Amino acid sequence: DAKTTQPNSMESNEEEPVHLPCNHSTISGTDYIHWYRQLPSQGPEYVIHGLTSNVNNRMASLAIAEDRKSSTLILHRATLRDAAVYYCILLISSNTGKLIFGQGTTLQVKP
Amino acid sequence: DAGVIQSPRHEVTEMGQEVTLRCKPISGHDYLFWYRQTMMRGLELLIYFNNNVPIDDSGMPEDRFSAKMPNASFSTLKIQPSEPRDSAVYFCASRKTGQGRAEAFFGQGTRLTVV
């Protein structure tokens, strides 16, 4: 399974933007980049995904490097409710869509 | 839709007992996944189904674990006999075919404690 690398933890101040990086140097051309997050005591929830172009939705933005070997999840204004573990996952096109979770990045948001 | 529904939310059982965890996926979703989460190992994929057929069970830890999906709206994960090291949160998730485009939806999980 293709591997992603994320920092173990990050801190942010409330109301400030947060950039969560992810490296995926072994990505292949048809692999999608997915981001999920897990709030305390809850199941993971989908945040955003992309293939080649940058993507925006109501929760976040996803910036994908031109060579696709890395991506960044952007929370434009962090709130206390954004404190969670954020997972960057490659959805491998050849394996019928199973999501393999790494250790993720634990985001702390300070008031 | 009510989302992915798991039951029970909490289960406490004694070592050696049989435990059955249940999952109702979102209607219309054709993939169903079972995950286990512990502090030590994080989120592990145990098994997943497509159209009620098990596709990959390589993550099932041992023969004490079994999973079934008798129809499109119900799946079970059974542990027999249970052991203290099986204590974890078990998540069920479902998604619809769409390859890289489809998001997965997770249930709230079942917290299993084996004493």
Render pLDDT for B9-53 as a digit per residue (tens, 0 to 9).
Answer: 999 999 999 999 999 999 999 999 999 999 999 999 999 999 999
Task: Name which of B21, B106, B108, B111 to mutate to probe chain A: the one with the most chain A Cβ atoms within 10 A of its Cβ.
Answer: B106
Amino acid letter, A79: T
Q: What is the mean pLDDT of residues A36-41?
A: 95
The reported pLDDT for the residue numbered B100 is 60
The reported pLDDT for the residue numbered B103 is 87
Distance from CA of B95 to the nearest CA of A (A): 9
Q: Is the pLDDT of residue A96 over 90?
A: no
The token pair that represents B33 in the structure block: 């996944």
Q: Is the pLDDT of residue A20 over 90?
A: yes
Q: Is the pLDDT of residue B98 over 80?
A: no
Burial class (CB within 10 angstroms; exposed 0-12, middle 13-18, buried 19+) of B54: middle
The reported pLDDT for the residue numbered A94 is 53
The residue in chain A having the minimum alpha-carbon distance to the alpha carbon of residue B90 is A43
Distance from CA of B109 to the nearest CA of A (A): 6
Q: What is the mean pLDDT of residues B50-79?
A: 95
Q: Is the pLDDT of residue A93 over 70?
A: no
Amino acid letter, A90: L
For β-strands B88-95 and B31-38, DSSP reports them as: antiparallel
Q: What is the mean pLDDT of residues A45-61?
A: 93
Of A87, A97, A102, the CB nearest to B99: A97
Q: Does B48 touch chain A (CB under 8 A)?
A: yes
Task: Tally Cβ neighbours within 10 Å of residue A93.
Answer: 15
Are B33 and A42 inside 8 Å of each other by CB? no
Q: Is the pLDDT of residue A95 over 60?
A: no
pLDDT band at A1 (very low <50, low <70, confident <90, very high): low
The reported pLDDT for the residue numbered A31 is 86
Do B96 and A44 contact (CB within 8 A), yes or no? no
Q: Which residues contact A23 (CB under 8 A, 6 or more apart)?
A: A4, A5, A6, A69, A70
Amino acid letter, B15: M
Q: Is the pLDDT of residue A62 over 80?
A: yes
Per the model's pLDDT, the better-predicted residue between A91 and A11 turns out to be: A11
Average predicted confidence (pLDDT) for chain A: 91
Are A98 and B106 inside 8 Å of each other by CB? no
The reported pLDDT for the residue numbered A2 is 61
The reported pLDDT for the residue numbered A92 is 72
pLDDT band at A99 (very low <50, low <70, confident <90, very high): confident
Of A32, A36, A43, the CB nearest to B109: A43
The residue in chain B having the minimum alpha-carbon distance to the alpha carbon of residue A38 is B106
Q: What is the mean pLDDT of residues A39-56?
A: 94
